[in-house]
Amino acid sequence: MTILATRNDVEIKNVVKRFGSNTVLNGINLEIKQGELLTLLGPSGCGKTTTLNLIAGFLEADEGDVYIKGKNVTHIPPYKRDLGMVFQTYSLFPHMTVYENLDFGLRLRKVPKPKKQNRIARALDLVKMSGLEHRYPRELSGGQRQRVAIARALVVEPELLLLDEPLSNLDAKLRHELRAEIKRLQKEIGVTTIFVTHDQEEALSMSDRVVVMNGGKIEQISSPTTIYNHPETEFVFQFIGKSNCFHGTVAEINNRKISVQLEDGWVTFVDADNIMGSERTCRPGDEVKLYIRPEKLSLASAEQSGHLEHFHKATITQMNYLGASWEIDATLLGKSVQILTPMYDASWQIGKEVMIGWNPSDIMLIKK
Amino acid sequence: MESVRHHAHQEVIREPATIPEPIKTKPRKKKKAYLPGLLLLLPILLFIFGFFVVPMLYILYLSFIYTDSPNATNAVYSLKNYALFFTDSYYLSSLWITVKVSLYTVLVSLLLGYPVALTMAKSSPRIRGYIALLIASPLLVSIVVRNFGWYLLLLPNGTINSILTSLGIVSAPLKLLFSEVGVVIGLSNAYLPFMILAIATSLYNIDPSLERAGAILGASPMRTFFSITLPLSLPGIVSGCVLVFSMSMSAYVTPALMGGANVPMMPIVAYDQINNLLRWTFGSALSYVLLATTMLLVTVFTRGFEKSRFREVFR
C-alpha cells in the first residue's frame, strides 16, 4: 500500500498547447499523486482550463504527453478515459431525470440493474439528494443541480474526478457549503481530484496542493500554507491575497539576516529564507522590492512608539469596518499601505499618526 | 401567368393559419400598460382582420352554400359540398396525394437539412453566417424561375435522364417531371431553408458542455448524438416539420408546374373548381377540408411529441 500511496495518478510531461499563433501552455510539467486534491489556480487565460481539458481529453497536446494511471492517454478520446467531471454550468441532461442522468454512465458501462440501482442510491445519498430521483434538472435549484452533477461524476467510480469551476455559478453561502462538502466527499472516497478555480480562497481552503499558473506556465506547486506564506515568485505573492510593496536597497547580509535600506533611509531586516525568484540570493547594493501581507502589519498608538524597535510612523487615511476585522489604509514612507487587524483602538482615527511594525520573517524580498 | 401570380399570393396569406402560433405569455401588469402596446399593434390587427379574417370567414360561409350550377338562383344552405367531397374518390385521393407528397417533402428536407443544421451549429459564427446566406440565397430567386430551372434537369431528355441513360444506369428515361417525385423534389428544394434554420436554431441553444458531459461519461460521439443532441433538438425538428408540412399542403405553384394534372394536389383542384369551373362554393369547401386536415395533422404531430418520452425538452 505504501507503494501505491506515493504513485502518481496523472503525469503531464513537457506539454505545449497552441491555439493558432497563441501558445496557451508553454511546457507544463505536473505530477498528481494518488488520492490528492490538487487545485489549478490562476487568472483567466493562464492555461488552467486548457490543462484540465488536456487531462479530460477535450483537447490534444501539440507537444508532450499526458499519462493517467501510468497509461499514455495523449491521443485517447475523452469517452475512453473513464473520468468523472463536473462543469461550471452543471451540464445535467435536461431531458433526463436525476436518476436517468446518473444512469447514463452506468448504462454505457453495462452495470447490471440491481447493482446499478444500488450505486445510484448510494451516490445520491452521498450528496444528500436522496428522494429526488424522479425530478428533472429544471425542477432543482442551482445548488441541487451541482450536487446531482457531482453524484453523476462519482457514480461511475472514475479514475479521476475533474472539477471545472463547479462553484462559480452559486451564491456565496452555497459556495461555502458545497466547498466543505466536496472536500469531505473527496477524502471519504479518496478519488484523485483536479479542481480548477480562479478563486484563491477556494483553492487555499480545499486543496492538498495548489498549482499557481500564469501565462501558460506553472509559477509554483505547493501546499496552501506555503503558497500563502512563502510564495516563490512575485506573481504568486500578488495573486494570492493582498499585498503591500516597498522599494529599497540591500545594505548588508549578516548571518541569514538581510538588512534593507528603504527609500527614506530607514533600515529593516528580512530573513534570508524569504527571498523569492529563481535565484533565491541577493548581494549588497541590489535594488529590491519588499512584500508584506496586510494582516502581517501591526498597529500601535503613537504614544507607545518608544518601546518598539521595528515600528515606523504612518498616517491613517481610511478605515473600513469589515465585521471580524478592520481594514485600515495608511501612508507610510509616502506610500499607501493596507493593514488588516482584528483589534481596534479608539485613538486610531483618520488623519491621526500611528506606528506600523512588522516581523522580519513576514517580509518577502525580490530582486528588481 | 397572371392567374398563377394571383393564386400564389392567396397561398402566402393562407399559410399563417396552418402554423400553430407560439404560446403567448401574459405579462401580469396593470391594465394601463396594455394600452400603448395595443395602439402599436392596431394597424396590423386591422390589416389582418380586413384582409385575412373577413375573407376566410366569407369563404367558410360560401362553403355551406350549395348550387347545382354556377349561375343558378336556387342556392340553399347545405352541407352538400362537404358530402360531395367525402363521397367522391377523386377528391379523397387528391387529399391523400396532398398529404403523401407533403410527408415525403418533410422527410426529404429533414434528412437533407439536419446535417446542414448540425454543421452550422458546430461552425464559428462567421462560417455560420456564410452558410445561412447560402441557404437563404435560393429564396432570392422567384419560385417560378426555379421551377423552370428544374424542368431542364428533370425532363425525359433533360440533364439527369441523359446522364443516367448514357451511363446505362436506366434503360428508359425516368418520369421525374409531372410526377409526385418531381413535386417532392421541387417542394423540398423550396422549403429546405426553413427546415435547416428551424433545426439550427434549436441546436444553437444546446449547451456545448452537455456533449462534453456525455463524452466524459463514456459515450462515443455517435452515442452522444443520439442520446443528447438529437433529443434536445426535437423542438427544432418539430417546428421545421410543421413549417414545411403546412407549406407543402398549401403549395400551389410548384405542384402545378412540377406535377401538373398528373399530381392533382388539393390547392390545384380547388383552384380548378373556382377559376375554371366557377364553382366557388365547392372550391371553398375544398379549401376548408385542406385547412382542417392540415391543422388536425399538425396538432396530432405536435401534441404527440410534446407528450413523448422527451416532453421535458419542449418546456
A239 domain-assigned: no
Shared-domain flag, residues A274 and A215: no
Partner residues linked to A194 by β-bridges: A38, A162
Going by C-alpha positions, the residue among A194, A126, A139, A198 that lies closest to residue A162 is A194
What are the grid coordinates assigned to A6, written together?
506515493
* Beta-carbon contacts below 8 Å between A and B: 76
Amino acid B22: pLDDT: 47
**pLDDT band at B252; cut points 50, 70, 90:** very high
Residue at a domain's end among A233, A261, A293? A233
Domain spans, chain B = 99-263+303-314
Task: Look at B219 and A104 and tell me if their CB atoms are within 8 Å.
Answer: yes
Which residue shows C-alpha cell 383542384?
Answer: B269
Residue at a domain's end among A206, A233, A260? A233
Could you say which of A57, A89, A96 has the minimum Cβ distance to residue B209? A89
Q: Please enumerate in sequence order all residues whose Cβ is within 8 A of that of B104, keeping only pairs 6 or more positions apart, or say none.
A: B180, B184
Dump pLDDT digits (tens) for B63-93.
999 887 766 677 788 899 999 999 999 999 9
A140 domain-assigned: yes
**Distance (Å, rounded) from C-alpha A352 to C-alpha A124?**
58
Task: Look at B209 and A87 and tell me if their CB atoms are within 8 Å.
Answer: yes
Amino acid B168: pLDDT: 86
pLDDT of B297 > 50? The answer is yes
Per the structure, the complete domain to which residue A142 belongs is given by 2-233
- Fold entry, domain B99-263+303-314: MetI-like fold (1.10.3720)
Dump pLDDT digits (tens) for A5-52.
457 899 999 999 999 999 999 999 999 999 999 999 999 989 999 999
ipTM (interface predicted TM):
0.84
Could you say which of A57, A93, A153 has the minimum Cβ distance to residue B210? A93
Q: Is B223 on the interface with A (CB under 8 A)?
A: yes
Instruction: State the average pLDDT over residues B51-62.
Output: 95
Instruction: State the average pLDDT over residues B142-166.
Output: 89
The DSSP element (H or E) to which B35 belongs, if any, is: helix B34-48
The DSSP element (H or E) to which B134 belongs, if any, is: helix B125-136
**Are A83 and A162 contacting, i.e. CB atoms less than 8 angstroms apart?**
yes
**Shortest CA distance from A153: residue in chain B:** B217
**Are B287 and B293 contacting, i.e. CB atoms less than 8 angstroms apart?**
no
Amino acid A271: pLDDT: 85
**Distance (Å, rounded) from C-alpha A16 to C-alpha A61?**
6
Chain B positions in Cβ-Cβ contact with residue A153 (cut-off 8 Å):
216
Structural domain tally of chain A?
2
Chain A positions in Cβ-Cβ contact with residue B220 (cut-off 8 Å):
79
Shared-domain flag, residues A254 and A222: no
Q: Is B228 on the interface with A (CB under 8 A)?
A: yes
**Distance (Å, rounded) from C-alpha A222 to C-alpha B29?**
57
Shared-domain flag, residues A134 and A255: no
Quickly list DSSP for B98-121.
Answer: HHHHHHHHHHHHHHHHHHHHHHHH
Which residue shows C-alpha cell 503558497?
Answer: A227
A238 domain-assigned: no
Query: Which residue type does A293 have?
Result: R
Amino acid A257: pLDDT: 84
Shared-domain flag, residues A146 and A295: no
Task: Look at A77 and B218 and tell me if their CB atoms are within 8 Å.
Answer: no
CA angle A144, A145, A149 (to 5 degrees): 115
Task: Look at B217 and A108 and tell me if their CB atoms are within 8 Å.
Answer: yes
C-alpha distances in angstroms, B35 versus B8, B28, B30, B253?
Answer: 36, 14, 10, 42
Shared-domain flag, residues A50 and A105: yes
C-alpha distances in angstroms, A98 versus A110, A135, B225, B307?
Answer: 19, 6, 20, 19
Residue at a domain's end among A233, A254, A276? A233
Could you say which of B207, B224, B232 has the minimum Cβ distance to residue A91? B207
Biggest distance spanned by C-alpha atoms of chain A? 78
Chain A positions contacting chain B at CB under 8 Å are: 56-58, 77-85, 87-89, 91-96, 104-105, 108-109, 136, 138, 152-153, 156, 162
A261 domain-assigned: yes
DSSP β-ladder status, A298-301 and B65-66: unpaired
Mean pLDDT (chain B, rounded): 87
Amino acid A267: pLDDT: 82
**Shortest CA distance from B221: residue in chain A:** A79
Shared-domain flag, residues A329 and A223: no
Dump pLDDT digits (tens) for A113-170.
999 999 999 999 999 999 999 999 999 999 999 999 999 999 999 999 999 999 988 8
Could you say which of B210, B310, B312 has the minimum Cβ distance to residue A91? B210
User: With b meaning 16 or more CB within 10 Å and e meaning fewer, what string describes B128-158?
Assistant: beebeeebeeeeeeebbebbeebeebbbeeb
Shared-domain flag, residues A205 and A65: yes
The DSSP element (H or E) to which A52 belongs, if any, is: helix A48-56
A216: left (phi over 0), alpha (psi -120 to 50) or beta: left
**Distance (Å, rounded) from C-alpha A336 to C-alpha B156?**
90
Helices (H), B141-279: 143-154, 159-166, 180-204, 208-216, 221-224, 230-232, 234-249, 253-254, 266-271
pLDDT of B227 > 90? The answer is yes
Task: Look at A91 and B310 and tell me if their CB atoms are within 8 Å.
Answer: no
Q: What share of chain B is helix, strand, coil (3-state, %, to 5)?
A: 75, 0, 20
CATH of the domain at A94: 3.40.50.300
**Shortest CA distance from A82: residue in chain B:** B218
DSSP β-ladder status, A217-222 and B65-66: unpaired
Burial of A262 (0-12, 13-18, 19+ CB in 10 A): middle
CATH of the domain at A348: 2.40.50.140
